[in-house]
Amino acid sequence: MQRRPFHKVLIANRGEIALRVMRTARRLGYGVVAVYSDADADAPHVRLADQAVRLGAPPPAQSYLNIAAIIAAAKATGADAVHPGYGFLAENEDFAQACKEAGLVFIGPSPEAIKAMGNKAGAKVIMSCAGVPCVPGYQGEDQGDEAMLREARRIGFPVMIKAVAGGGGRGMRLVTDAAAFPDMLRSARSEAAAAFGDGTVILEKAIANPRHIEIQVFGDGHGNAVHLGERDCSVQRRHQKLIEEAPSPAVTPELRARMGAVAVQAVKALNYEGAGTLEFLLDGDGQFYFMEMNTRLQVEHPVTEALTGLDLVEWQLRVAAGEPLPLRQEEIGFVGHAIEVRLCSEDADHDFMPQSGRMALWQMPEALRVEHALESGAEIPPDYDSMIAKLISHGRTREESRARLIAGLEQAIALGVTTNRSFLTCCLRHPAFAAGKATTAFIAAHRDELRAPDVESSTVALAALLLSVSHPLAHPVRSGRSLAAAFATPLRFEIGGEVRECELLRERDGTFRVTQDGAEHRCEVVSLAADTARVRLAGILESARFARDGDRLFVQHRGQTLQIHDLTLARPQSTAAAGGDGKVRAALNGRVVAVLVKPGDEVAAGQPVLTLEAMKMEHVHTAGIAGTVAAIEVAEGDQVTTGRIVVEIAGAIAS
């Protein structure tokens, strides 16, 4: 094994993982180079790198997939190694090969290993030959629609459609019956092609309510291989992980040893170098089935780092430089329990719809490890994954780790773009998760219990108060008595999806009285800063963080994040927003990937008419009414903004 020294690392990625790799690379004495799309021109990973190179012409969503541009950037800056991070080109054998041919050290496995294990169909064949139990399914070359449906019937519904390339839940669909299969197949192929440049899929038998368990492995060029224990990634939505923890509550020491031995055996059989993860489904009887191998660093690697005290990026860099693994299997220890949550810019109460826009106020807790690349005022573009931060807790016990993470989430401030912060807190607090009983069916089974709680009347009163005193034209709030005449101010605003009407009256003693539906709340503003208010409400002194953006106010109070839309001077809303006027409007910023109808088609209310892609996920838009398609205002490939009319249906009943 020859040493492969390098001095400067180009990071072919963005966001928090780019910053994460930079941190370790700098600690070890390497120079760091960033690449960026036009959407990321002023991003933190660009500003903090030693050098940065614009990736050029492709649209932002495709820029980080431009192999030629990334190789050219390395050559132009003198970088002699490339770290791919995760996602994008991290599991692309052509990229690894291009780096090799350009004389660059690829910080990851060989192109041959990526090709062998990065393709889910080929990986299952290899694992089966090695005696590793695999999920029953179809990995054949015939990708025709009829052949795929025939194989799905043979396997038996429900079946899982899975992209052969990439990961992260893209190109995955759970299909419960034959009637839904064709549309699900098309959607999975389209999403996979957009995310990974390959629309090939496989089929797997859907195992009921399994655990998703993965084993972290490492190999080097000296024939050594180890595992670093398991992570439980069962809490998922849309087949994408939201909460990961280690060790798994469902894995015994004996099972850990068996799964670890299988994983190490696979690594040695492949002569695998670098970080990798073998993913398994664990059923209720303790049987595990291989699904896939991710030939890269995982999003959730900080969980393993917390338990082992190791820096996995450092291990990647050392192995890529030709060094042996720093530790033998018997030298690796595990201490305590760690849990990670993925903070995403998405609306959990509306089918986890991705959200883009300006993050007005951003402040993360200091007591937790937080991986992110955001700051107050930053724009979250619609082109990339919705994950904006990872919060990781570590404690002596699982309960200690869980409690710390809940406290940290409640302290996290993310105002201006809707996030899943409250949803994650509800998940961590749920009795099933607290008891360590969560499977991949957790969110679906407890969806109603995990929704945001109803807004209390006292919170409505606080919203009315803050909406008034934070207005740019509002008089400064001064404590004490006033001789000014008191007049009630009418307010109308939307909060929690419901329109509220209140009256706000400033009393002569300096307090405020909020009246809604006959109920009164007395409030006192104790102090008011640019983004923080201290208010005495029902005799209790409370703090709230807030951010104002025109007629919208974002408030975080008692663990809830609220968006208040001032409608006091707005025209009354009609049924148009819901499509009741026959116009289908884009629900988010995105790209049109499929138009499912044509002019003249008869459609039923609720029928899919168009699919948008945003943040690497597809979102089907449906007809709001029954009628005839009168016009299609967009074409496949078009970029659209939220609220744009995309399809018009004749026959609407006037509202």
Of 17-26, 194-203, 322-331, 350-359, where does mean pLDDT reach its minimum?
A: 194-203
Burial class of 653 by CB neighbour count within 10 A (0 to 12, 13 to 18, 19+): exposed
Q: In the structure, what pLDDT confidence band is assigned to residue 478 with cuts at 50, 70 and 90?
A: low
Rounded to an integer, the average pLDDT of 1-23 is 94
268/469 Cα distance (integer angstroms): 65
Whether 510 shows a pLDDT value over 90: the answer reads no
DSSP state of 655: -
Whether 575 shows a pLDDT value over 60: the answer reads no
Name the token pair of 640. 């659209």
Q: pLDDT (tens digit, 9 = 90+) per residue, 90-129? A: 999 999 999 999 999 999 999 999 999 877 777 888 888 7
CATH fold for domain 136-205: Dna Ligase; domain 1 (3.30.1490)
Of 162-176, 253-267, 433-447, 623-637, where does mean pLDDT reach its minimum?
A: 162-176
DSSP string computed for 545-568: EEEEETTEEEEEETTEEEEEEE-T
What local confidence, expressed as pLDDT, does residue 573 receive?
Answer: 55
What local confidence, expressed as pLDDT, does residue 653 receive?
Answer: 46
DSSP state of 10: E
Whether 137 shows a pLDDT value over 60: the answer reads yes
Packing angle, helices 145-155 and 181-196, rounded to 10: 110
Phi, psi of 529 (to 5 degrees): -110, -170
Beta carbons within 8 Å of 7's beta carbon, 6+ residues apart: 30, 31, 80
| Contact assessment for residue 218 and residue 283, using Cβ atoms and an 8 Å cutoff | no
Check whether domain 211-450 has CATH 3.30.470.20, yes or no: yes
Q: Which residues of 104-136 are buried (b: 16+ CB within 10 A; e: fewer)?
A: bbbbbbbbebbbbbbbbbebbebbeeeebebbe
Q: pLDDT (tens digit, 9 = 90+) per residue, 417-467? A: 999 999 999 999 999 999 999 999 999 999 999 988 888 899 999 999 999
344/154 Cα distance (integer angstroms): 38
DSSP string computed for 340-369: EEEEESEETTTTTEE--EEE-EEE--SSSE
629/314 Cα distance (integer angstroms): 57
Beta carbons within 8 Å of 76's beta carbon, 6+ residues apart: 53
| Contact assessment for residue 617 and residue 641, using Cβ atoms and an 8 Å cutoff | no
Name the token pair of 458. 């006292």
What local confidence, expressed as pLDDT, does residue 642 receive?
Answer: 82
Beta carbons within 8 Å of 81's beta carbon, 6+ residues apart: 6, 8, 9, 10, 30, 104, 105, 106, 107, 320
Identity of residue 17: I
DSSP state of 480: S
Q: pLDDT (tens digit, 9 = 90+) per residue, 289-348? A: 998 899 999 999 999 999 999 999 999 999 999 999 999 999 999 999 999 999 999 999
Percent of the chain exceeding pLDDT 90 equals: 73
Catalytic site positions: 296
Determine the CATH number of domain 575-650: 2.40.50.100
Rounded to an integer, the average pLDDT of 409-413 is 96
Phi, psi of 16 (to 5 degrees): -65, -35
Distance of CA 399 to the CA centre of its chain: 25
What local confidence, expressed as pLDDT, does residue 655 receive?
Answer: 38
Q: In the structure, what pLDDT confidence band is assigned to residue 570 with cuts at 50, 70 and 90?
A: confident
Beta carbons within 8 Å of 603's beta carbon, 6+ residues apart: 597, 609, 623, 626, 627, 628, 629, 649
Give domain limits for the chain: 8-107, 136-205, 211-450, 457-566, 575-650
| Contact assessment for residue 627 and residue 596, using Cβ atoms and an 8 Å cutoff | no
Region class of 300: left (phi > 0), else alpha (psi between -120 and 50), else beta: alpha
| Contact assessment for residue 47 and residue 121, using Cβ atoms and an 8 Å cutoff | no
Please state, rounded to an integer, the average pLDDT across all residues of the chain.
91
What local confidence, expressed as pLDDT, does residue 235 receive?
Answer: 98
CATH fold for domain 8-107: Rossmann fold (3.40.50)
Whether 654 shows a pLDDT value over 90: the answer reads no
Distance of CA 552 to the CA centre of its chain: 25
Q: Which CATH number fits domain 457-566: 3.10.28.10, 3.40.640.10, 3.30.700.30, 3.40.30.10?
A: 3.30.700.30
Whether 236 shows a pLDDT value over 80: the answer reads yes
Whether 397 shows a pLDDT value over 90: the answer reads yes
Q: In the structure, what pLDDT confidence band is assigned to residue 1 with cuts at 50, 70 and 90?
A: low
Provide the 10 A C-beta neighbour count for residue 293.
31
555/125 Cα distance (integer angstroms): 52
What local confidence, expressed as pLDDT, does residue 580 receive?
Answer: 73
| Contact assessment for residue 486 and residue 507, using Cβ atoms and an 8 Å cutoff | yes
555/553 Cα distance (integer angstroms): 6
Q: pLDDT (tens digit, 9 = 90+) per residue, 265-300? A: 889 988 999 999 999 999 988 889 998 899 999 999
What local confidence, expressed as pLDDT, does residue 610 receive?
Answer: 92
628/73 Cα distance (integer angstroms): 52
Rounded to an integer, the average pLDDT of 208-217 is 94
Name the token pair of 564. 């208040």
